[in-house]
A and B are shown apart, each in its own frame.
Chain A
Amino acid sequence: EVQLVESGGALVQPGGSLRLSCAASRFTFSTYWMSWVRQAPGKGLEWVANIKQDGSEKYYLDSVKGRFTISRDNAKNSLYLQMNSLRAEDTAVYYCARGIDSDCWGQGTLVTVSS
């Protein structure tokens, strides 16, 4: 069964940095677009960023552009989200999702930005 496991969430102060990881298994990771999607407390789902199979194309939500960087390591079957200059409004559960149609999701990792 396809598996996506996020990690790296933590409590961080405003202005701080965090790197999220998503470990993929049981499918050919290098052949899929991958995405990050978040859900703030009590809110709906919000797409954050995605990356093409070879990393040559990346797209971001306007509010995270210049602060977040999506990347991947196909040799390690891993997706990453480097989050800098974190704000309180970035507090959310962050999910990774597979493919253009987001057909498979991880369980999420919680990021809390607070002093």
Chain B
Amino acid sequence: DIQMTQSPSSLSASVGDRVTITCRASQGISNYLAWFQHKPGKAPKSLIYAASSLQGGVPSKFSGSGSGTDFTLTISSLQPEDFATYYCQQYKSYPWTFGQGTKVEIK
């Protein structure tokens, strides 16, 4: 199985901060990587697919980059509605696997 490792596991940031979350795959996955935002009690929301493509309706403050084994999600200017847990997921091979999540909290 492909292991996905996110860092950090949690972070504290202020409104307006630029935030970067990294995701590393245990083997190459090309660009078969997605990023999701999840808030408690809500449906997960897809942000990025194919490593860097923005899902429709997702604000451009979210961006993704990377290929192979190393990926990043960047939020250019953190807003109150962005405080949530973020997950990466590979869909290159089965079983699809998620990172452990990065909880973004208010400083």
Listed in ascending order, the chain A residues whose CB lies under 8 Å from chain B are 35, 37, 44-47, 50, 59-62, 95, 97, 100-108
Contact = CB atoms under 8 A, between A and B. Distances in A.
B42 to A, nearest CB: 7
Size class of the B contact interface (CB-based, 8 Å): 20 to 34
B101 A45 contact: yes
A101 B46 contact: yes
A59 B95 CA distance: 8
B38 A45 contact: yes
B58 to A, nearest CB: 10
A100 B36 CA distance: 14
Contacts of B101: 44-45
A59 B94 contact: yes
A95 B43 contact: yes
A97 B38 CA distance: 14
Contacts of B46: 101-105
B52 interface: no
B38 A101 contact: no
Contacts of B42: 107
Interface in B6-25: none
Contacts of A50: 96
A106 B43 contact: yes
Contacts of A61: 95
Contacts of B50: 101
A45 B44 contact: yes
Nearest to A93: B41
Contacts of B100: 44
Contacts of A106: 43
Interface string B81-98: 000010101010011111
Interface in B58-107: 85, 87, 89, 91, 94-101
